Amino acid sequence: MKKIITFGEIMLRLGAPGYLRLTQCNRFDVSFAGSEANVAVSLANYGLPVKYVTRLPDNPISDRCVRELNSYNVDTESVIRGGKRIGILYLETGSNSRPSRVIYDREDSAFATICADSIDWKLIFRDAQWFHWTGITPALSENAAEVCRMAIKTANEMGLTVSCDINYRKNLWNYGKSAAEVMPDLVAGCDIIAGNEEDCEKVFGIKNDNSSFLSVCQQMMERFPKCRKMAVSNRESVNANHNLWSAVLYSDGTLKQSPKYDITDIVDRVGSGDSFMGALIFGLLSFDNDDQKSLDFAVAASALKHTIKGDYNQVSVEEVLNLMNGDSSGRIKR
């Protein structure tokens, strides 16, 4: 099977243990996190061949990062080394009405200072079928946006499927251009788009004018004619430990609706959007064009992600199918 390629920044994730505040704890749990790496791990976890492309400095922290990706069977051969530092994400896990808090320290990271022509996309895409990127990459720096643009262009030329998670994060767009200026050109090269209501409104000015997401999807499709499918995830946040989670997938002119999961006792919701994206790509590649099944798989997989510590989803296809098939009782498996 041909490879799926994802590209983006991966950061050192330093988490306060349990529900401690960042100001309270005297140790940090160490892991790594990045939207596109998370997607790569999900895909590798389901057994697909996947290569992750990023730029990391040459130090032991990066070695540990690469080692972890290797452990999940993500191909790290094309990770380039250079730059001064790995970006950092400090995470404090909230509870009840105290929200979780993410503090980024990613400016001037090895990835943000990537050279525009340092990646040979033709070589990387040679044995690939799919390229996935997110709206975080072009937010980081002019150069990162340019490398992303070249990747999309090359992928289009070479006939890969291109998917994008819009992933709008207001606070990241600091280098002088706005998402509204940069994103449309990039999204225009995509076959599959994922986003949520806020993404569409903030980046493309497309509002959800009725209770379903149908209108949003239709407007997006009109605006980006290359796009064949659009997925919109929907989180209703009762409190920091309790969310409702569902999604829709618009394709072939219809809006498929997933079940809605009632997720209490959340273990870690960071990365759940990426686990949705990874599972959706897996479904689209594995379920014989059964878009409803792909959507349901993606929502079930990402519902399970809420029970997994760390950014990476670590559930098996069988576990996701069990939940899809209605077993949400949590009874002990012996």
Task: Pick the piece of the chain touching a second copy (CB under 8 A) from 117-125, 142-150, 266-274, 288-296.
Answer: 266-274
> Could you give the CA distance from residue 53 to residue 64 in angstroms, rounded to a whole number?
16
Among residues 159 and 326, whose Cβ is nearest to a second copy? 326
Tokens 């992928």, residue? 155
- For a second copy (CB under 8 A), the number of binding residues is 82
> Which secondary-structure segment (H or E) carries 133?
strand 128-134
> Could you give the CA distance from residue 152 to residue 200 in angstroms, rounded to a whole number?
20
> Per rule CB under 8 A, is residue 97 in the interface with a second copy?
yes
Q: Which of residues 197-236 bind a second copy (CB under 8 A)?
A: none
Which phi and psi angles does 72 have, rounded to 5°?
Answer: -90, 10
> Per rule CB under 8 A, is residue 260 in the interface with a second copy?
no
String of contacts with a second copy for each residue 267-296, x by CB under 8 A: x-xx--------------------------
String of contacts with a second copy for each residue 165-184, x by CB under 8 A: ----x-x-------------
Choose which of 49, 82, 100, 142 interacts with a second copy (CB under 8 A): 100
Which phi and psi angles does 121 have, rounded to 5°?
Answer: -60, -35
Choose which of 114, 266, 280, 281 interacts with a second copy (CB under 8 A): 266
Q: Which of residues 35-94 bind a second copy (CB under 8 A)?
A: 59-61, 63-64, 67-68, 70-73, 84-86, 88, 90, 92, 94
Choose which of 78, 143, 239, 292 interacts with a second copy (CB under 8 A): 239
Contact, 29 vs 128, CB < 8 A?
Answer: no
> Per rule CB under 8 A, is residue 240 in the interface with a second copy?
yes
Task: Pick the piece of the chain touching a second copy (CB under 8 A) from 105-113, 125-133, 183-191, 204-212.
Answer: 105-113
Beta carbon of residue 13, minimum distance to a second copy (angstroms, whole number): 11
Which phi and psi angles does 95 have, rounded to 5°?
Answer: -150, 145
Contact, 152 vs 190, CB < 8 A?
Answer: yes
Contact, 160 vs 129, CB < 8 A?
Answer: yes
Residues composing the chain: 334
- Degrees (nearest 5) of the Cα angle 302, 303, 307? 100
Contact, 124 vs 53, CB < 8 A?
Answer: yes
Beta carbon of residue 243, minimum distance to a second copy (angstroms, whole number): 8
String of contacts with a second copy for each residue 13-32, x by CB under 8 A: -x--xxxxxxxxxxxxxxx-
